[in-house]
Amino acid sequence: MTAKAPVTTIDWENLGFDYMDLPYRYRAYWKDGEWYKQGLEEDANLVINEGSPALHYGQQAFEGLKAYRTKDNHVQLFRPDRNAKRLQDSCDRLLMPHVPVEMFIDACKEVVQANEEFVPPYGTGGTLYLRPMMIGVGENIGVHAAKEYIFSIFAMPVGNYFKGGMVPTKFLVSEYDRAAHRGTGASKVGGNYAASLLPGSKAHAAGFSDCIYLDPVNHEKIEEVGSANFFGITKDGKFVTPKSPSILPSVTKYSLLYLAEHNFGMEVEQGDIYINDLDRFAEAGACGTAAVISPIAGFQVGDTYHEFYSETEVGPVTKKLYEELTGIQFGDRPAPEGWIVRV
């Protein structure tokens, strides 16, 4: 069966990355070791106890993935098992229960099906963004893990995360740290993003798309972007991306590492990228679910501005990777085994 047609009340060509209250969201409730109630709900608001550890101690984790409408009008998810597993890792770090992978994927499908008219039309570049989240709730005041949890997935149609999408923009190398090596940087938890709000707002106010964070020990190596991973294409054509215990293991980054190596025969490397050695790169980009691939025009590092490929043009390798990745996501190009899940 093909998917329901998109509603005609939304300007699909001009979507940004903004909240929208869609008709249905999925919720599951956990207590005494089990998920005891689950299904679709209509109310966008949650009523939780004022002592909930999610509110005081940041005991929460979230995910981000997308549903894509294909040319032949089906809807599909991109590697939802990877998001399910990463949520489990985040939950382990914050002492929260697991959502089984199958339950996670079924819940994603249920939310997409229920809101199918809000999956943007093929060809507009828009997608339905899914935001799964886990929160620790219930009566509490000491610094303890919650005794009750809510797992929820809500959705909204989105377009570009960074202004203009596939056009180069500038990033500011931040004076702040995002996360510590032995902290929660590799977990997708709200605290990391709370820490990035002030640096991010300073970067935006100064005209940059986002921050680039450096390693929190010596501030010599690139870690990642506030909302995406970093990659560079070296002058001799290698795909290079940072390796660090405090960056988020990006599903998009691992997908690009695979595609660069297997589909394009490129050399790939996860390693140290020194901020004083940017001349080795011909191109650079930010990659993530929301960011997709966003080309980086240049970095502001203190008083110095370093330009990568161009202020206005997208580099050829970045373009090639973007076309391959989005081609797979929208069903136009063959996907490696297991990457696509039909809704």
Q: Does 177 bind ligand PLP (CB under 6 A)?
A: no
CB 203 → ligand COI: shortest distance, Å? 14
214 to 253: interface string for ligand PLP, x by CB under 6 A: ----------x--xxx------------------x-xxxx
Question: In the chain, what is the greatest distance between 2 CA atoms, to the nearest angstrom?
Answer: 58
Separation between Cα atoms, residue 205 and residue 207, nearest integer Å: 5
Q: Is 126 exposed, middle or buried (0-12, 13-18, 19+ CB in 10 A)?
A: buried
42 to 61: interface string for ligand PLP, x by CB under 6 A: --------------------
Q: Does 289 bind ligand COI (CB under 6 A)?
A: yes
The DSSP secondary-structure symbol of 122 reads T
Vertex 129: Cα angle to 124 and 131 (nearest 5): 175
The DSSP secondary-structure symbol of 33 reads T
Separation between Cα atoms, residue 214 and residue 233, nearest integer Å: 19
Residue with nearest beta carbon to ligand COI: 64
Among 160, 227, 229, 244, binds ligand COI (CB under 6 A): 227
Give the list of residues 6+ apart from residue 199 with CB closer than 8 angstroms, or none.
174, 175, 176, 178, 211, 213, 226
Q: Does 210 bind ligand PLP (CB under 6 A)?
A: no
Q: Does 119 bind ligand PLP (CB under 6 A)?
A: no
Q: Strand, coil or helix: what is 337?
A: coil
Q: Which stretch binds ligand COI (CB under 6 A): 40-48, 237-245, 288-296, 316-324?
A: 288-296
Among 58, 64, 120, 136, binds ligand COI (CB under 6 A): 64
Which residues sit opposite 229 in a β-bridge? Answer: 287
Q: Which is nearer to ligand COI, 241 or 289 (CB)?
A: 289
Q: Strand, coil or helix: what is 214?
A: strand
Concerning whether 202 is annotated as a catalytic residue, the answer is no
Q: Which stretch binds ligand COI (CB under 6 A): 21-29, 133-141, 282-290, 326-334?
A: 282-290
From the candidates 170, 188, 221, 253, give the one annotated as an active-site residue.
188
Separation between Cα atoms, residue 338 and residue 202, nearest integer Å: 40
Catalytic residues: 188
Q: Given the rule CB under 6 A, which residues bind ligand PLP? A: 64, 224, 227-229, 248, 250-253, 288-289
Q: Given the rule CB under 6 A, which residues bind ligand COI? A: 64, 227, 288-290
